Amino acid sequence: MSTAQVAHDRLPRMRVLADVLPRTQARDAALVAGGAMLTALAAQIAVEVPPSPVPVTGQTLAVGLVGATLGAKRGALSLALYAVLGLMLPVYADGESGWDVVWGASGGYIVGFVAAAAAIGWLAEHGGDRRVLSTFAAFVVGQAIVFAFGLGGLKIAVGESWGWTIHNGLGIFIVGGLIKAAIGAAVLPSAWRLVRGAER
C-alpha cells in the first residue's frame, strides 16, 4: 500500500448535512433522486452567451450543493442519475434531452458534473464545507473539474482551436463560477451553524 493511500485511509470521515437525518436506504434513495431533480431545475436557468454554444446555467451551483450535502458517493450517484435521466427526459439545459446533447458541446460538462460532485462530496466529508473559505475553495475545485471535462468535450464537438475553446468554454464563465462558489460558501457554513444550534 502506498504512502498516499495510507494517509488517505487515516483521514477521518465526517458527516455531511444529509447525515443529520436518520440513515435508511429509503432516505438515501430520496436524497439521490432529489439531488438529480435540483440539478434538473437549475439547468432550466439558462442564458445563452454567443458565440459560445454552451449556456450559462445554474447547474454548477446545484452540483456543488448536491455534492457537499450528500457526500462523495451519493453526490456522484445523484449527478449520474441526472445524466441518465437526460437521455430520456427534457432535464438538460433549456429543456433538452438525448444523446445529441451528450455528444454535443455540453456533453463534457455533464460528465464532469459526476466527478465534481464526488470531489466536493469528499472534501465535505473531511470538513471542507464547514467554513467560508474552505467551502469556497471546494466549489472552485469542483468547477475546475467540470471545466476540465467540459473543455475536452467542447473541443471534440466543435473542432475549434484551443484558444477559441478556452475562451468560449471557460473564460466567459469564470465570473459566474466565482459567484456560485461565493453562494455555496455562504449557504453551507450557515446551514452547519443552524444544525449545531439545533443539536445543543
Q: Kindly state whether residue 8 falls inside one of the protein's structural domains.
A: no
* Size (the chain), residues: 200
pTM tops 0.75: yes
| Residues in Cβ contact with 1 at an 8 Å cutoff, skipping those fewer than 6 apart | none
Residue 7 maps to a domain? no
CATH number for the domain harbouring residue 67: 1.10.1760.20
Given this model, what pLDDT does residue 38 score? Answer: 97
How much is the pLDDT for 122? 98
Q: Which domain holds residue 59?
A: 23-195
191 within a domain of the structure (yes/no) = yes
C-beta contacts of 41-44 below 8 A and 24+ residues apart: 43/91, 43/92, 43/93, 43/94, 44/93, 44/94, 44/95
**Is residue 18 a part of any domain in this protein?**
no
Residue 98 domain-assigned? yes
Number of compact structural domains in the chain: 1
Write the DSSP string, 113-178.
Answer: HHHHHHHHHHHHHTTTTSSHHHHHHHHHHHHHHHHHHHHHHHHHHH---HHHHHHHHTGGGHHHHH
Contact by Cβ (8 Å): 32, 72: no
pLDDT in the model for residue 168 = 96
**CA 103, CA 57: separation in Å to the nearest integer?**
19
Each residue's pLDDT, cut to its tens digit, for the chain (200 residues) gives 555 554 555 667 889 999 998 888 999 999 999 999 999 999 999 999 999 999 999 999 999 999 999 999 999 999 999 999 999 999 999 999 999 999 999 999 999 999 999 999 999 999 999 999 999 999 999 999 999 999 999 999 999 999 999 999 999 999 999 999 999 999 999 999 999 887 77
Q: Judge whether 11 lies within some domain.
A: no
Q: Is residue 14 part of a domain?
A: no
Is 6 inside any structural domain?
no
